[in-house]
Amino acid sequence: MISRRIAAYFIDLALFTGVVFLSILVGGLITNSFTENLIVRVVITLPLFVVFVFITSGLLGVFFKGSIGKKFMDLKVTTTVGFVTAFRLLFRDLMKYTAYIPFLIGVYALLDNRIEHFDFFISTLKVSGALLLLLVIAQGYYFIKKSGMIGDQLFFTLVENDIPTATEYDDLLEFVDSKKTIKK
């Protein structure tokens, strides 16, 4: 199941990046008519980003029983306490993509003015790399110590197979042995 979770993560990352570029595009269309100030453009684009992320991660997440990537990989998010809500799924996804936000702000500045903001883009790239490294180290440590995922523990959720008859095999030999017993 871990390979399907990783694939779902990259699908969601591509969707998250698409949402960022969509909010940059819509924010640019709105702000180009009245301002050239980068700060004003970011202040207008940021709420659009939050709305788009809430729609894709929160509302669609409740409908799909998890993120869109998990739906494509036949996984679902269940809860250990309470209900699966849009805000729970939203914050669960935002925790995963926090490391990419400085990089995407740098991309926004780079798209605004390539020459003036190139150094800013490089520094945001370094910050994102450091945050991603910290996230990977923390997740690796937590996985070794607790055999689980940080997001599942923080938000009281579990990721399960969405197909009721699916069986996960981590060991290929175990899978081959189960096929032999079924044929007999």
- Please give the tally of structural domains in the chain: 1
Query: What is the C-alpha end-to-end distance of the chain, expressed in Å?
Result: 27
Residue 165: how many other CB atoms lie within 10 Å: 5
* DSSP string computed for 122-145: HHHHHHHHHHHHHHHHHHHHHHHH
pLDDT string in tens for the chain (184-residue length): 678 888 888 898 888 888 888 888 888 788 776 777 777 877 888 888 888 888 888 888 888 888 888 888 888 888 888 787 888 888 888 888 888 888 888 887 787 777 777 888 889 889 998 998 998 898 888 888 887 788 788 888 878 877 765 555 555 566 667 666 665 5
Look up tokens 């990419």; give the residue.
100
CA 56, CA 43: separation in Å to the nearest integer?
A: 21
**Side-chain half-sphere of 121: how many Cα atoms within 13 Å?**
12
Structural domain for 44, as ranges: 2-183
Length of the chain: 184
